[in-house]
Amino acid sequence: MKDTESAHKQIQEMIDCYATTDPLKEMSDIGKEADPEQAAVKWIALAALHGVNHNAKKISIRREADGTVKVTAKYREAELPGPGADLGQRIIEAFRAVTHLDREKGKSALALGMRDGSVELSVKVKAEDDGETATLKFPE
């Protein structure tokens, strides 16, 4: 994820590509992707689409110190399909790369074009002794 502008552009392109699909179904199959960096970018695009489509307040991905990864959405407490340990780590790295958040914790805006408009999400990343969390917060 060296070229962060490219990653942002790839997220935009994947949002356009997957706009008419079921993001949760696509997320549940993401472990089958051959390229883990592409899969991480695709996961971010699918999470953004799911959040917009289902009026989510926020979606978080958390990697525990032992490597397990859990994804939750806040609109009703629900766990989304997890991407697995290796991909989960790459997703959090992709969030950091796209938003330039290199410190232990930080917050940044992420503007994404979707369908005929755009949405500005808030991205928050936080590293702790027991793991690391990246959260997409959706506008109301």
- Give 20's contacts (C-beta < 8 A, 6+ positions apart): none
- Listed in sequence order, the residues at least 6 apart from 84 whose beta carbon sits closer than 8 Å to its beta carbon are 31, 69
Average pLDDT of every residue of the chain: 88
Global pTM reads 0.65
Which ranges of 19-116 would DSSP assign to H, the alpha helix? Answer: 23-28, 36-53, 85-99
Given the structure tokens 């883990």, which residue do they identify?
A: 36
Class of domain 4-137: alpha beta
Q: Does 48 score more than 80 pLDDT?
A: yes
CA angle 137, 17, 134 (to 5 degrees): 25
Closest to 61 (Cα-Cα) out of 96, 13, 36, 34? 96
Domain residue ranges of the chain, discontinuous segments joined by +: 4-137
Distance CA 20, CA 78 (A): 22
Tally the C-alpha atoms within 13 A of residue 55's C-alpha that lie toward its C-beta: 3
Per-residue pLDDT of 76-88, as tens digits, reads 556 778 898 899 9
pLDDT in tens, 66-109: 999 999 988 755 677 889 889 999 999 998 888 888 888 899 99
